[in-house]
Structure 1
């Protein structure tokens, strides 16, 4: 007969080696207590089946088998499963105790990089589950713990842990897609606090919280189209790995490139200063956003030069630095049309640097940030810029007729507004000809 612990804090009698500390939480499938294993001298979590029903017991046994068969830092370890001899008791599972906080209470504190790293770590664990023949089915911020920093051996891999696998099921194409969808929805939530249905209605990214490449990855993870979404979890893992590596590479290049660009900007400014010696206050108005704008122009020029020479990887790094500075300049002085214009023209001309999907997202963001053209001093030019961007969208998505027609119509409307404000401009008529020529292509790429 198993020894029974007299502590009433546990809902059911269990062996005396476990000392109850406190209730951690409860859900539909079980109760979880923090406890101390006096035999092995360690803190553990003990999960009880919420009811002695066959379903509850089956779920807990299934969860224990899954955790014992898949070893990964993103999955909670299982130490033991107990079935006391007391008939009124419940099946229980002894788990690793995770010292930390639920992701649901920490998500607002995560940076873009940290959020992507958390989801990448979870994706690694879910991939291992799929390969072992299981799918999670319930990946939410409430079911994820973030380990305390002083309790983490490898911060990159061990920070996020899935702690509830009670409704895990055998893996299949359907359950795998569901897990991928939930991982994409989790990343979207961490970055924007949006739900997928909101994102589908307004798929506009935010330069600080939802970079264009992460937006593309999320859209692909959430896609219900069989030919557009990720078919396997490893595909999502590889995309997130690539973004994280690229982020680190870009960060290193930024400090190297920023130093060189700063020197070029200083030389440029001094050249103008020496050339215009009669203007003693030439640099008085040289503001932060102008500095960002100057940096953007330098990086943009350098990226084109690299791309022309076939150095595409380096060109992408410099191009993203250019966009970062363009974005900062626009954010600092959104009323200056030239900042919007230079950024849009750079995106439109970067076909050999960025993918069509990336440029589509960038242009949608740029249109969103441009806002109402009538608020600018140069109203006609603002409408014309908007028309150029809509035409760019139509050309980028020529294989999707419904999008082409919508964006061609938007381009024409914007162009008509530009002509109304400033009739008789040759370039406006030239753009009309280009819009008329843009037609949906037959079939798909």
Structure 2
């Protein structure tokens, strides 16, 4: 039977400066109480080693040393470690008291942005632990508190804090990968309430539950192939930072559009009215899908306009927003060939805005999401778009002959399949000639 401990008095004698308020929780490694430090007039959390054993003492001292060696909002601060005053007492640690609730008791789902922000902050904290030579080993919903400054603080002002580092240990390649896996599993669960094994059985990107770029990131972190995973925690942190920056860039662009509402409204309305034969039911039928599509086209058009006028950075920002809408659109409607084709064409026409490495990554991701050509209603057109993307990859990697040969071969295979289905389509034959010319020139045209 588990040992009973009172809720309003400390289980072991400690200095009188600390007044017990209540028991916060208990686990295999210790008991945690909310207390008031009467000398400094502040609330604290006091953690007792569950028993005076050498193992318990070692764990608690190890946790205190780790917390004192790093400083980040996602990690609880340690104020002191107290030695037992009598033989029957226990080693104890005085910690920052976190006002909030465990993440496991979160009633309402957070937005995608707030979820990524929370996991990004936790990842930053874990990165600092790794730099200090430790790994956490037990990142889960029950070990994370959402810090709130006030009871009614908005969700986006809540910070996540790892509150139990009792089984943290010196890091190793395996334990670092375990932390990355657990952080990614946490992100996946907060977004979808899904565990990793179900995630790989049901491709989320095609169900529109999370943005496709986040899906790719999670798949990489949870991959069973060691060479496919993130090399270290900082790589995951950078990917999450990049996603947050893209999101903020998108918000800034919308604010810019709001400030220039006349121009933006005219552009959007032109696209909408060109697609609607009448206006009678225009707003009734304006769906989220259509919203993404119109925005993607507007941002794509505006980015090309800025690029032609020499405003490269502004054009790149607009292009990022266009791609976000294309990604969301394809996540919602993965079997609509037109959306894949529009995105592919936009990427292929954005060589002024992104590096070859960035464009290569975009095309590889687009091909991965494209799936099987025979699954589309217009299989020949699917082969055609696939051939265009493969040819684009060959051109982007012209300095790496082995990659050029691979992509040229894939492009030729795809366009031949399109022509086999529809030999009378001019654009298929034109692309076929373009690929053959590129092959005969050795990839130097």
Contact 2:335–2:375 (Cα < 8 Å) also in 1: no
Deviations 1:389-444 (A, max 9, x none): 5666787789797999699669847963x4565343344345556678999xxxxx
Paired with 1:436 and 1:202, the residues of 2 have a C-alpha distance of 39
Match of 1:24 in 2: 25
1:264 lines up with 2:267 in the alignment: yes
Match of 1:92 in 2: 92
Residue 150 of structure 2 aligns to a residue whose secondary structure is helix
Contact 2:7–2:22 (Cα < 8 Å) also in 1: no
Residue 24 of structure 1 aligns to a residue whose secondary structure is strand
The alpha-carbon distance between structure 1 residues 326 and 240, as it changes in their structure 2 partners (threshold 3 A), is: closer
Match of 2:363 in 1: 359
What 5-or-longer segments of structure 2 have no aligned partner? 440-445
Paired with 1:89 and 1:151, the residues of 2 have a C-alpha distance of 36
Residue 297 of structure 1 aligns to a residue whose secondary structure is helix
Moved more, 425-434 or 42-51: 425-434
1:212 lines up with 2:222 in the alignment: no
Shift of 1:160: 1.0
Match of 1:117 in 2: 117
Paired with 2:37 and 2:404, the residues of 1 have a C-alpha distance of 62
Match of 2:343 in 1: 343
Paired with 2:270 and 2:386, the residues of 1 have a C-alpha distance of 34
Residue 109 of structure 1 aligns to a residue whose secondary structure is coil
Shift of 1:342: 1.8
Shift of 1:146: 0.9
The alpha-carbon distance between structure 1 residues 330 and 393, as it changes in their structure 2 partners (threshold 3 A), is: same
Contact 2:271–2:294 (Cα < 8 Å) also in 1: no
Contact 1:221–1:236 (Cα < 8 Å) also in 2: no
Deviations 1:78-101 (A, max 9, x none): 233333344343322232222222
CA RMSD of aligned residues (A): 4.7
TM-score of the superposition, structure 2-length normalised?
Answer: 0.73
Match of 1:71 in 2: 71
What 5-or-longer segments of structure 1 have no aligned partner? 1-5, 274-278, 440-445
The residue correspondences of 1:44-443 to structure 2 (distance < 5 A) are: 44-106=44-106, 109-150=109-150, 159-171=159-171, 176=176, 178-193=178-193, 205=205, 209-212=210-213, 215-216=216-217, 219=220, 224-225=226-227, 229-231=230-232, 233=234, 236-257=236-257, 259=261, 260-267=263-270, 282-284=278-280, 286=282, 287-288=285-286, 292-326=292-326, 337-354=337-354, 355=358, 356-365=360-369, 367-368=370-371, 373=374, 376=377, 378=378, 380-386=380-386, 388-389=388-389, 412=413, 416=417, 418-419=418-419, 421-431=421-431
Paired with 1:335 and 1:153, the residues of 2 have a C-alpha distance of 41
Moved more, 261-270 or 294-303: 261-270
Paired with 2:437 and 2:104, the residues of 1 have a C-alpha distance of 51
Residue 186 of structure 1 aligns to a residue whose secondary structure is helix
Paired with 1:129 and 1:45, the residues of 2 have a C-alpha distance of 21
TM-score of the superposition, structure 1-length normalised?
Answer: 0.73
Residue 32 of structure 2 aligns to a residue whose secondary structure is strand
Contact 2:272–2:294 (Cα < 8 Å) also in 1: no
Paired with 2:391 and 2:89, the residues of 1 have a C-alpha distance of 69
Match of 1:3 in 2: none
Contact 2:373–2:379 (Cα < 8 Å) also in 1: no
Residue 95 of structure 2 aligns to a residue whose secondary structure is strand
1:13 lines up with 2:12 in the alignment: yes
